[in-house]
Amino acid sequence: MFIPKFRMLILICALLLLTEGYTAPTQAAEHAESGNQTPPPIIMKMPKDLSTLSEGETITPESMLELEPIALRTHDEQLIMELPPLGEPFAVYELATGVTTFINANFLNAGVQLPMSVLILRIPPDAKTNVPAEQGLQATVDGFIHSYQKNSRIKNLKILVNEPTIQDGHPARHLTMRANIEEADTVFDVLVISSEKGTWFIQINYDPNDKNIDNHEHYLLDSILLREDSEK
């Protein structure tokens, strides 16, 4: 089955990144919070321009994706973004190094589980280094690519995007890769953001053959906001 494979994918990705020992998991409570109780909004892609429709003609969307806002809080900072409705809360781990890890491989679209998973790391600043933000982001991405290139489980790795950007006013770097992992065609879409209080690493893994994700996944990363935690 595909979904169990994706659960394995997120664990493999986490292990590739988290090479240092970690503590026991914190409570897997609802660290991700929905912004409201109304039905989630839906974004769609139509197969043609609606202005060209003839009178009485009907059209079926090429793809659609439900979205809802979530907020992940840690160390007086929060990350807010749009994601498909959660099938279960994010599992949260605190590493001995101060890194906070959020993992979820259970997202729903119209009640059906999606072939996607999300790994988010909040990395504290390193007091021993004083490098420009862009240089630090580049080093983080380079290390991430190297860890995937040397992993025997990952085949046919291709880098599609690797470029600096700005996200919510913060320096960031966007990386997109595609590969076969555990025989599954997978896209790894990554955004690394530098804030005043540390670095956020957001990785979305998904099946590019699912158009409901492939046509709309870019919106998930574009929606990210960083804010001071108002619920300290």
Instruction: Tell me the C-alpha distance between 118 and 70, whole Å.
Output: 13
What is the tens place of the pLDDT at every residue in 110-136?
Answer: 999 999 999 999 998 875 566 778 888
The two tokens of residue 58 are 């009907």
In a domain, 51, yes or no: no
The two tokens of residue 42 are 């839906």
Q: Which residue range is the domain that position 114 belongs to?
A: 2-18+69-228
CB contact set of 11 (below 8 Å; sequence gap of 6+): none
Query: What is the band of 30 on the pLDDT scale with cuts at 50, 70, 90?
Result: very low
Give how far Cα 105 sits from Cα of 56, 108, 121, 150, Å.
41, 10, 15, 24
In a domain, 55, yes or no: no
In a domain, 49, yes or no: no
pTM greater than 0.85 (yes/no): no
In a domain, 50, yes or no: no
When divided into structural domains, the chain yields a total of 1
For residue 96, give the CATH number of its domain. Answer: 3.40.1000.10
What is the tens place of the pLDDT at every residue in 193-207?
Answer: 999 889 999 999 999
In a domain, 31, yes or no: no
